[in-house]
């Protein structure tokens, strides 16, 4: 079978689209997490791992894992940021620009090449090949090229903190955008040839390893509140 990243014929691994370490906080004491399908006709089920499919060869898994290890270590376990003058904002520091940007792109690209129903709305079209080349060649491009705005989520004890939602396609400030929710954050990718002009372009990760980010309380994010309400109204919740 053909590896989606290097395009070589090889035995393929079961590859995650969103890395497994984002799922781990969602597991219960039995090592399971709850999967709530969008289709109300489908039953809620438990799973012991995040979604995978055969996409990458072992070499390309390791290639992308290098980016993931950096994000897991610096962005989550050694999180360092400086306050800014704007309330509800911070400046993340000590990021490796190349690894962090390529991590962002790798999640977006994997979602686009995936055949799993969860990622059906992510279709990069001609951008898919360009991003593949950026990932395989370790060339992250300038900050505005496929930039991503990250918003951190705060929550209270009465609301689930760890959740992963189906990515959605939409438009933002006149640009095509894809919205992901994982790792206590909202990640919005701007897919446009003129993203330099986006009103939030100064929130894209910078070459000096810093990135502005916003912090919002989960109850103030309408689409997440709506999703939690939808889930709470199901009759088959355990």
The pLDDT tens digits of the residues spanning 63-98 come to 999 999 999 988 777 666 787 878 888 898 889 999
The pLDDT tens digits of the residues spanning 4-41 come to 999 999 999 999 999 988 877 666 766 666 666 666 66
Burial class (CB in 10 A: 0-12, 13-18, 19+), 205: buried
First-to-final CA distance of the chain: 40
Q: How far is CA 75 from CA 65, 80, 100, 157, 219, in A?
A: 15, 8, 9, 23, 23
pLDDT for res 98: 98
Inter-axis angle of helices 127-136 and 58-70, nearest 10:
80
pTM, entire model: 0.88
Q: Per-domain residue ranges for the chain? A: 69-232
Say which residue the tokens 């360092």 belong to: 80
3-state helix, strand, coil in the chain (%, to 5): 30, 25, 40
Give the CA angle between residues 135, 102, 163 to the nearest 5°: 120
Q: Alpha helix (H) ranges present in 34-141?
A: 58-70, 97-113, 127-136
Q: Are 112 and 123 in contact (CB under 8 A)?
A: yes
pLDDT for res 159: 47
């Amino acid at each position: 079978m053909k590896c989606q990243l290097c395009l070589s014929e090889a035995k393929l691994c079961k590859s995650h689209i969103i890395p497994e370490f984002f799922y781990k906080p969602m597991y219960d004491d039995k090592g399971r997490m709850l999967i709530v399908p969008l289709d109300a006709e489908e039953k809620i089920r438990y799973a012991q791992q995040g979604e995978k499919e055969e996409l990458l060869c072992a070499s390309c898994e390791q290639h992308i894992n290098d980016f993931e290890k950096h994000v897991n270590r610096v962005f989550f376990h050694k999180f360092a940021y400086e306050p800014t003058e704007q309330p509800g904002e911070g400046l993340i520091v000590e990021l490796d620009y190349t690894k962090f940007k390529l991590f962002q792109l790798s999640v977006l690209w994997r979602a686009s090449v995936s055949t799993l129903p969860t990622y059906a709305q992510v279709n990069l079209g001609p951008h898919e090949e360009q991003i593949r080349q950026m990932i395989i060649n370790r060339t992250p491009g300038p900050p505005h090229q496929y930039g991503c705005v990250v918003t951190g989520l705060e929550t209270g004890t009465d609301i689930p903190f760890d959740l992963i939602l189906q990515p959605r396609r939409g438009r933002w400030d006149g640009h095509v955008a894809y919205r992901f929710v994982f790792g206590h954050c909202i990640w919005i990718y701007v897919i446009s040839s003129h993203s330099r002009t986006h009103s939030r372009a100064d929130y894209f990760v910078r070459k000096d390893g810093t990135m502005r980010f916003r912090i919002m309380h989960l109850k103030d994010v309408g689409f997440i509140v709506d999703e939690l309400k939808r889930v709470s109204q199901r009759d088959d919740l355990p």
